Structure 1
Amino acid sequence: MGSPAITQPYPTSATDDLADATYRKVGWRLLPLLFVCYIVAYLDRVNVGFAKLQMQGDLQFSEAVYGLGAGIFFLGYFLFEVPSNVVLHRVGARRWIARIMVTWGLLSAGTMFVSSPTAFYVVRFLLGAAEAGFFPGIILYLTYWYPAARRGKATSLFLAAIPFAGILGGPVSGWILQGMGGVNGWAGWQWLFLLQGLPTVALGLVVWRCLDDRVKDARWLTPEERTLIAREIAAEEAGKAAPKIRAVLSNPRVWLLALVYFAFVSGLYGISFWLPSIIKALGVQGALDIGLVSAIPWTFGVVAMYLVARSADRRLEYRWHSAIAALVGALGLVLSVAWHGHAVWAMAGLTLATMGIMATLPVFWGMPTSFLGGTAAAAGIAFINSFGNLSGFSAPYLIGLIKDATRSTDAGLHMLAALLVAGAVLVLFARPGKPVPTR
């Protein structure tokens, strides 16, 4: 049933004390910047869900047009993800992540000029192509700095940007929609894309200036600290596979994990794109009020993500942690539908669903990063992520079609719950190898 538990999870020597202090130092240096970058990345990806509250009426888009436009982002993402991550591994994270952020920030801001379904589809596709490589690039980048027994916690802190984007982005998006409409003759949704796109460009320039590619480049670490990290990473990499890219993409374990991630991410994007509309259907009116209410599920999601990832790291066990979290997410979606007529209970269901879905993500990434190294890791992580994110295309589009046909999102939420159950079953068959304990 997965890897054995660590029998001594806490430091017992001066070496362990040095390691803990060193990785805390790394965390404070890298994670705040990566965290903020992913907040704006996620806002740029899903702000179309809030823009829909006004954009759909202004441009006369059907639910299916909106769902296709929201999801077509992921086709561009899928096509360019693997080559983008391979380039990052070769040229370094600093310049490549900076390039990614500047280009997608400009395209996101440019969405304010969309006036037809075709233009909407084109700009969303280009936005996905521009952003391809950012998320798997960061997951790969963390393997350069953290061994497996510490990476889950670091990954969870980075991925906490997703629920924080919901906590902060919901109220901010609602305020922009409600308060900026008509300023300079632009609609609130146009201001939303502009004001959430341009900060990404500025952050890209910060990344260019501040991010270090590898441990050896980190002048802010002492020689002893750099040696400690390099030794632990080298010991772990020695036990990983580094096959050719073609072999990685045909590896059954990689495909199985890609299918699992597809199921998990379906739940994430179903919630992300449709949460504002679901909350509105529960009777909450006003863009700002919808934004404030939408922060509730994401707040609980932060807590669940951190606690589950910490538990998985201590036990070096990822399959059962992922499966149980996915089942909790599915239960929450089912309950939100069952309690549809009662706003408070329906929100409790959505909150439980968000907690389960968010908890799957950092734990899941402990599996592929445990057995892939070097260029194989760059290609494998990117492929799993890009394939999984195809659900970002299919889930919103299918929910849009279902809502057009039934005038309700209930059947769509049941579909997402079924996918999460399927992911929970499949992940129990994933045996990607045991991470190497570092202490």
Structure 2
Amino acid sequence: MPSRPAVTPGEEAGAHPPVIAKVSKRLLWFLFICFVFSFLDRINIGFAGLTMMDDLGLSSTQFGMATTIFYLAYIACGIPSNMVLAKLGARRWIGSLMIAWGVASTATLFAHDAASLYWLRALVGITEAGFLPGVLLYMTFWFPAAYRARANALFMIAMPFTAGFGSVLSGAILGLDGHWGLAGWQWLFLLEGLPSVVLGLAVYGYLDDKPRQARWLSDDEKLQLAELLARDRQAPSPHAHWGRELLSPAVLLFCLVYFCLVNTLAMIAVWTPLIVKSFSAGQSNTLIGLLSAIPQICTIVGMILWGRHSDLTQERRWHLALPMLMAAAGWFCTALSNEPIVQLAGICMAATGSYTAMSIFWTLPDRSLSFQARAVGIAVINAVGNLGSALNPLVVGWLKDLTHSYTAGCLYAALLLLVAAILVRALPHERQHSSREWVPE
């Protein structure tokens, strides 16, 4: 059968073939909902901390340590989880992970001291570790690189959406304090953990591992999608070895940039409710939840518009560096101003810039890795980068106990973003396509 005429990436991005639209409508909304509850189960400890810290007698350092332990477990299990996904397929593995972390997150309501909280958060980290790198890998099976910034943005707006929606929801759930003998933070883990179990069961019936298995695509649509995806793949070099590729300077640089960026993502996810509370003294948890949602609304708009612009121009590096600089400026505003409105505006800038940068970041690694190295490479970058998520809560909690304010923590996040923005210009250009297409078995 003759191949369709080749088109340039820019033409592909502008033309938006119907098969891409069909794949987007089928997958993105469902993956979005799954990610909402994944991220909610990851960050709800930030709101639980508004009352849980006092109930369990935790210091800021101990509270930060609980999140650090979560991310250490998350990092340790991310790479093996993606290797299992590559063998078993997304449908079975992601479904199983969602059921497991839903149960583990719900069980956090039984924490009674620092040690029990540490064990439970480690369990959530172990079970949730494979979801994000697994879905990022899964999307490379369905979306050609020219469309990936928009697809990533539409999927990853689950993070600011969840932070905003979760802020309002969690603030309201904390108001259930005392009902049926449960504290507000216990209700929070119960009501926000169980939906992941239900969604995990739904994954088994909804997702297909590869386009060729999708009964909702016609044979012609499967062929068209296969041809678009084949242009992103290179013929394997007979001298290349994916293990050496993972230790290349390019992969290490991706890890370092992501480490610096993820520090800010953890800062927003874990500390925003407490930072807002610090300059909104005397306000109710419900109002703090509403104020914490404002930065996330800004972020959703920014991610969609910036991701679309990056795809249309097919430019990635400046589209990655500029949001990082914006986020750094936001943390400086929050740290150095005494005006609550300026501090809130700074958090809006930090959230919008950092989440937008993350959606652009994940368009780059798979274009610099061979197909053989992609599954493990994405997991390695995600795992090493997430050391920033493990380190940030501990560092910021320690700085808060030391200085009795969040100023030093905001400056710490801002400086790392400046380092990341500088390093972006050194990231490798994408691998050149081989004239010989290679499609894996």
TM bucket, shorter chain: over 0.9
SS in 2 for 1:299: helix
Offset, 1:24: 0.8
In the superposition, relative to structure 1, how do residues 435 and 96 fare at CA in structure 2: closer, same or farther (>3 Å)? farther
Offset, 1:9: 6.3
Is structure 2 residue 214 aligned with structure 1 residue 218?
A: yes
Offset, 1:125: 1.3
5 Å matches for 1:427-438? 427-434=424-431
Match of 2:224 among 228, 232, 244: 228
SS in 1 for 2:232: helix
TM-score computed with the length of structure 2 as normaliser = 0.93
Which residue of 1 is the match for residue 289 of structure 2? 291
The 2-side partners of 1:51 and 1:103 are apart by 21
5 Å matches for 1:60-139? 60-139=57-136
SS in 1 for 2:231: helix
Give the residue type in structure 1 aligned to 2:112: S
Is structure 2 residue 312 aligned with structure 1 residue 314?
A: yes
Tell me, yes or no, if the aligned pair for 2:13 and 2:311 is still in contact at 8 Å: no
SS in 2 for 1:236: coil
Which residue of 2 is the match for residue 237 of structure 1? 233
The 1-side partners of 2:252 and 2:298 are apart by 31
Which residue of 1 is the match for residue 24 of structure 2? 27
Match of 2:205 among 209, 224, 235: 209
Give the residue type in structure 2 aligned to 1:405: L
**Structure 1, residues 173-211: CA drift from partner, whole Å, max 9, x if none?**
000001x11111010000100111000000000111110
The 1-side partners of 2:13 and 2:109 are apart by 51
Offset, 1:80: 1.0
The 1-side partners of 2:11 and 2:25 are apart by 25
Which residue of 2 is the match for residue 266 of structure 1? 263
Give the residue type in structure 2 aligned to 1:166: A
Offset, 1:314: 1.9
Offset, 1:390: 1.2
The 2-side partners of 1:7 and 1:385 are apart by 28
Give the residue type in structure 1 aligned to 2:348: T
In the superposition, relative to structure 1, how do residues 428 and 23 fare at CA in structure 2: closer, same or farther (>3 Å)? same
Give the residue type in structure 1 aligned to 2:269: S
Tell me, yes or no, if the aligned pair for 1:39 and 1:161 is still in contact at 8 Å: yes
Tell me, yes or no, if the aligned pair for 2:13 and 2:312 is still in contact at 8 Å: no
SS in 1 for 2:215: coil
The 2-side partners of 1:35 and 1:375 are apart by 27
Give the residue type in structure 2 aligned to 1:25: K
In the superposition, relative to structure 1, how do residues 193 and 311 fare at CA in structure 2: closer, same or farther (>3 Å)? same
The 2-side partners of 1:227 and 1:25 are apart by 14
The percent of aligned pairs where both chains have the same amino acid is 40
Offset, 1:315: 2.3
In the superposition, relative to structure 1, how do residues 234 and 349 fare at CA in structure 2: closer, same or farther (>3 Å)? same
Which residue of 2 is the match for residue 186 of structure 1? 182
Which residue of 1 is the match for residue 336 of structure 2? 338
Offset, 1:344: 1.2
Give the residue type in structure 1 aligned to 2:34: C
Which residue of 1 is the match for residue 324 of structure 2? 326
Offset, 1:324: 1.0
Tell me, yes or no, if the aligned pair for 1:329 and 1:355 is still in contact at 8 Å: yes
Which residue of 1 is the match for residue 382 of structure 2? 385
Give the residue type in structure 1 aligned to 2:105: S
SS in 2 for 1:237: coil
5 Å matches for 1:395-410? 395-410=392-407
Tell me, yes or no, if the aligned pair for 1:240 and 1:372 is still in contact at 8 Å: no
Give the residue type in structure 2 aligned to 1:193: F
Give the residue type in structure 2 aligned to 1:315: T
The 2-side partners of 1:375 and 1:314 are apart by 28
The 2-side partners of 1:367 and 1:131 are apart by 24
**Structure 1, residues 118-152: CA drift from partner, whole Å, max 9, x if none?**
11111111211111111011111110001110111
The 2-side partners of 1:130 and 1:177 are apart by 25
> How many corresponding residue pairs?
425
Stretches of structure 1 that go unaligned for 5 or more consecutive residues are: none
Offset, 1:426: 1.0
Match of 2:139 among 142, 145, 152: 142
In the superposition, relative to structure 1, how do residues 171 and 230 fare at CA in structure 2: closer, same or farther (>3 Å)? same
In the superposition, relative to structure 1, how do residues 98 and 7 fare at CA in structure 2: closer, same or farther (>3 Å)? closer
Tell me, yes or no, if the aligned pair for 1:149 and 1:435 is still in contact at 8 Å: no
5 Å matches for 1:163-182? 163-178=160-175, 180-182=176-178
The 2-side partners of 1:156 and 1:283 are apart by 31
5 Å matches for 1:150-165? 150-165=147-162
For the aligned residues, what is the CA RMSD? 1.8
